[in-house]
Protein backbone atom coordinates (compact mmCIF):
# COMPACT_ATOMS: atom_id res chain seq x y z
CA UNK A 1 0.00 0.00 0.00
CA UNK A 2 2.76 2.45 0.95
CA UNK A 3 4.64 1.79 -2.28
CA UNK A 4 1.51 2.40 -4.33
CA UNK A 5 0.83 5.73 -2.59
CA UNK A 6 4.46 6.79 -3.07
CA UNK A 7 4.38 5.76 -6.75
CA UNK A 8 1.20 7.76 -7.40
CA UNK A 9 2.65 10.82 -5.64
CA UNK A 10 5.88 10.64 -7.65
CA UNK A 11 4.05 10.31 -10.97
CA UNK A 12 1.84 13.27 -10.06
CA UNK A 13 4.84 15.46 -9.20
CA UNK A 14 7.17 14.32 -11.99
CA UNK A 15 7.37 16.25 -15.23
CA UNK A 16 9.43 15.81 -18.39
CA UNK A 17 12.48 18.03 -18.63
CA UNK A 18 14.64 18.65 -21.70
CA UNK A 19 18.16 20.07 -21.73
CA UNK A 20 20.99 21.25 -23.95
CA UNK A 21 24.37 22.88 -23.47
CA UNK A 22 26.06 25.68 -25.38
CA UNK A 23 29.86 25.56 -25.32
CA UNK A 24 32.23 28.44 -24.99
CA UNK A 25 32.73 31.54 -26.94
CA UNK A 26 34.23 34.69 -25.49
CA UNK A 27 30.77 36.30 -25.46
CA UNK A 28 29.34 33.52 -23.30
CA UNK A 29 29.99 35.66 -20.19
CA UNK A 30 27.20 38.03 -21.25
CA UNK A 31 24.72 35.36 -22.30
CA UNK A 32 23.30 34.35 -18.89
CA UNK A 33 21.88 37.81 -18.21
CA UNK A 34 20.62 38.12 -21.78
CA UNK A 35 18.90 34.74 -21.54
CA UNK A 36 17.30 35.63 -18.18
CA UNK A 37 15.88 38.76 -19.81
CA UNK A 38 14.67 36.60 -22.72
CA UNK A 39 12.91 34.25 -20.29
CA UNK A 40 11.25 37.21 -18.53
CA UNK A 41 10.06 38.68 -21.84
CA UNK A 42 12.32 41.75 -21.77
CA UNK A 43 14.35 40.65 -24.82
CA UNK A 44 12.98 39.30 -28.10
CA UNK A 45 14.94 36.82 -30.23
CA UNK A 46 14.03 36.43 -33.91
CA UNK A 47 12.08 33.23 -34.56
CA UNK A 48 12.08 32.09 -30.93
CA UNK A 49 9.13 32.29 -28.55
CA UNK A 50 9.79 33.18 -24.93
CA UNK A 51 10.24 30.11 -22.69
CA UNK A 52 8.66 30.98 -19.35
CA UNK A 53 10.09 27.99 -17.45
CA UNK A 54 13.61 28.27 -18.91
CA UNK A 55 16.33 27.23 -16.50
CA UNK A 56 19.86 28.57 -16.97
CA UNK A 57 23.08 27.28 -15.45
CA UNK A 58 26.49 28.80 -16.12
CA UNK A 59 29.47 26.47 -16.03
CA UNK A 60 33.17 27.15 -16.60
CA UNK A 61 32.98 27.03 -20.40
CA UNK A 62 29.31 26.29 -21.07
CA UNK A 63 25.73 27.37 -20.48
CA UNK A 64 23.09 24.76 -19.78
CA UNK A 65 19.43 25.37 -20.55
CA UNK A 66 16.41 23.28 -19.55
CA UNK A 67 12.66 23.45 -19.86
CA UNK A 68 9.56 21.28 -19.91
CA UNK A 69 8.58 22.60 -23.36
CA UNK A 70 10.63 20.63 -25.90
CA UNK A 71 9.35 22.53 -28.95
CA UNK A 72 10.36 25.97 -27.66
CA UNK A 73 13.66 24.63 -26.34
CA UNK A 74 14.40 23.11 -29.77
CA UNK A 75 13.80 26.50 -31.40
CA UNK A 76 16.21 28.09 -28.93
CA UNK A 77 18.76 25.35 -29.65
CA UNK A 78 18.44 26.00 -33.39
CA UNK A 79 18.95 29.72 -32.80
CA UNK A 80 22.31 29.01 -31.15
CA UNK A 81 23.30 26.52 -33.86
CA UNK A 82 22.60 29.06 -36.63
CA UNK A 83 24.93 31.54 -34.94
CA UNK A 84 27.83 29.10 -34.86
CA UNK A 85 27.76 27.99 -31.24
CA UNK A 86 28.71 24.40 -30.45
CA UNK A 87 25.85 22.62 -28.68
CA UNK A 88 25.00 19.15 -27.38
CA UNK A 89 21.57 18.91 -28.93
CA UNK A 90 18.30 18.68 -27.01
CA UNK A 91 18.05 15.60 -24.80
Contacts of 61 (CB under 8 A, 6+ apart): 23, 24, 28
Looking at residue 53, what is its pLDDT?
A: 92
Which domains, and CATH codes, for the chain? Answer: 16-87 (3.30.70)
The answer, yes or no, to whether residue 41 has pLDDT greater than 70, is yes
User: Residue 10 pLDDT > 90, yes or no?
Assistant: no
Percentage of the chain with pLDDT > 70? 97
Q: Map residue 5 onto helix, strand or coil.
A: helix
Residue 19 CB burial class (10 angstroms; 0-12, 13-18, ≥19):
middle
**How does pLDDT run across 46-67, given as a tens digit for each residue?**
889 889 899 999 888 889 999 9
Q: What is the pTM of this model?
A: 0.81
Amino acid sequence: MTREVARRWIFKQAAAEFRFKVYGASSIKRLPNLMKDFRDGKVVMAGVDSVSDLGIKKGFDFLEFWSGDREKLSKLHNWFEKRGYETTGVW
